[in-house]
Amino acid sequence: MSPHNPNGAKVQISKDGPYLVSGDLPLSKQIIGTNADGESTAWTQAASLPIQTQYALCRCGQSANKPFCDGSHQTTGFDGGETADRRPYLQQAKHIHGPVMSLTDAETLCAFARFCDPHGQVWGLVTETDDQQSRHHFVTQTCDCPSGRLVAWDNATGEAVEKTYQPSVVLIEDPEKSCSGPIWLRGGVQVIGADGFTYEVRNRVTLCRCGASRNKPFCDGSHASIGFNDEL
C-alpha cells in the first residue's frame, strides 16, 4: 500500500531541530470545513506559498517565522526525540472486516481531524458497506483522514482505496477547534529520522509542528489541547 517516491521528495528530521524539506515540494494551507453540527466534512484549499527547492519547517512550535524555522529550538530546550512506533503501518493497525470493504486503524497516528465521525463513524459504517450510501460515506471519510490512521480496503481486490495526491506539504488549519493542526505530507513523501532511519513511505502522513506530540515525529492531536496557533 506504500506509494513510490520517484521524485526524491523527502523530509529529513534534524536532531532537536526543524524538518528539512527537499524535492521542490509545494507548500500550502488547507482548512478543515465543518457542517452546522461542527462535524468535519470537507477540505478547503487556502493559501499556497511560493515553491522552493528546499526549506526548513518549524518543529518546536516556537518560531516567530512560522511555518519556517527561525532557530528558536536552540534557545527553548526543545526535545525532538522520536518516540513513534517504527514498524510498518499494517503491523501496527487493527483490522475490522466488513461485508464489502474493511478498515485498518492505527490509533496512535490520530491527528484529531475528526473526519471519521459523521454518519455514525467509520467503525460503524464499515459493517454496512454492502449498502451503497454507507459505503460512499465510509470511503470518503476514511480517505479524508490526513494522518493515514484509517485506511479503507476493497475486500474483492485486497487493495487499499486511496486518493491520488501529487507529493506535497500542507499546513492544516482547524477553525472549529480554534487551532492550527499538523503538517500533512501527501503523495508519498519520504520521512527520514534524525538517526537516519527511513520511515515507511505512505500516501498520507501528519507530522507534529506544535512541539507537544508524545508520538514524534507524528502528530497525536496535542495541538488542539494546547491551543497551538501558527498565526499565519
Residue 231 is predicted with a pLDDT of 83
Residue finishing a domain among 105, 132, 161? 161
Write the burial class of residue 16 (CB in 10 Å: 0-12 exposed, 13-18 middle, 19+ buried): middle
Does residue 220 share a domain with residue 113? no
**Per-position b or e across 58-92, b if 16+ CB within 10 A of its CB:** bbbbbbeebbbbebbbeeeebebebebeeeebeeb
Residue 49 lies in a domain: yes
Residue finishing a domain among 121, 136, 161? 161
Cα atoms found within 13 Å of the Cα of residue 169, Cβ hemisphere only: 31
Residue 5 lies in a domain: no
User: Who contacts 214 (Cβ-Cβ below 8 Å, separation ≥6)?
Assistant: 83, 220, 222
Does residue 98 share a domain with residue 151? yes
Residue 170 is predicted with a pLDDT of 98
Nearest to 164 by CA among 138, 143, 178, 136: 143
Residue 109 lies in a domain: yes
Does residue 154 share a domain with residue 171? no
Whole-number Å distance between alpha carbons of 89 and 61: 27
Which of residues 48 and 228 earns the better pLDDT score? 228
Does residue 205 share a domain with residue 177? yes
Does residue 156 share a domain with residue 105? yes
Residue 4 lies in a domain: no
Does residue 219 share a domain with residue 204? yes
Residue 5 is predicted with a pLDDT of 57
Number of domains in the chain: 2
Residue 147 lies in a domain: yes
- Binned at pLDDT 50, 70 and 90, residue 33 comes out as very high
Mean confidence (pLDDT) of the chain = 96
Using alpha carbons only, how large is the chain's radius of gyration in Å?
A: 17
Report the sign of the C-alpha dihedral through residues 202, 190, 183, 220, in that order.
positive
- Angle (nearest 5°) at CA 190 between 101 and 25: 105
Across residues 51-55, what is the average pLDDT? 93
Counts for the chain of helices (H) and strands (E), in that order: 5, 13
Does residue 94 share a domain with residue 76? no
Does residue 157 share a domain with residue 94? yes
Tell me the percentage of the chain whose pLDDT exceeds 70: 97
Residue 110 lies in a domain: yes
pLDDT digits (tens, 9 = 90+) for 93-102: 999 999 999 9
Whole-number Å distance between alpha carbons of 30 and 59: 19
Across residues 123-131, what is the average pLDDT? 98
Residue 2 is predicted with a pLDDT of 53
- Binned at pLDDT 50, 70 and 90, residue 50 comes out as confident
pLDDT digits (tens, 9 = 90+) for 131-147: 999 999 999 999 999 99
The CB density around residue 127, as the number of other CB atoms within 10 Å, is: 17
Query: Which single residue is written with the C-alpha cell 499538523?
Result: 182
Does residue 184 share a domain with residue 80? yes
Residue 49 is predicted with a pLDDT of 87
CB distance 186 to 9 below 8 Å? no
pLDDT score of 1 more than 60? no
Residue 3 lies in a domain: no
Residue finishing a domain among 161, 189, 216? 161
pLDDT score of 30 more than 60? yes
- Binned at pLDDT 50, 70 and 90, residue 126 comes out as very high
Does residue 98 share a domain with residue 78? no
Does residue 80 share a domain with residue 43? yes
Does residue 114 share a domain with residue 96? yes
Written in H, E and C, the secondary structure of 37-48 is CCCEEEEEEEEE
Residue 1 lies in a domain: no
User: Who contacts 183 (Cβ-Cβ below 8 Å, separation ≥6)?
Assistant: 19, 57, 67, 169, 170, 171, 172, 206, 207, 208, 209, 219
Question: Considering the entire predicted model, what is its pTM?
Answer: 0.96
pLDDT digits (tens, 9 = 90+) for 7-23: 689 999 999 999 999 99
pLDDT score of 4 more than 60? no
Domain boundaries, position 25: 10-85+167-226
Tell me the percentage of the chain whose pLDDT exceeds 90: 94
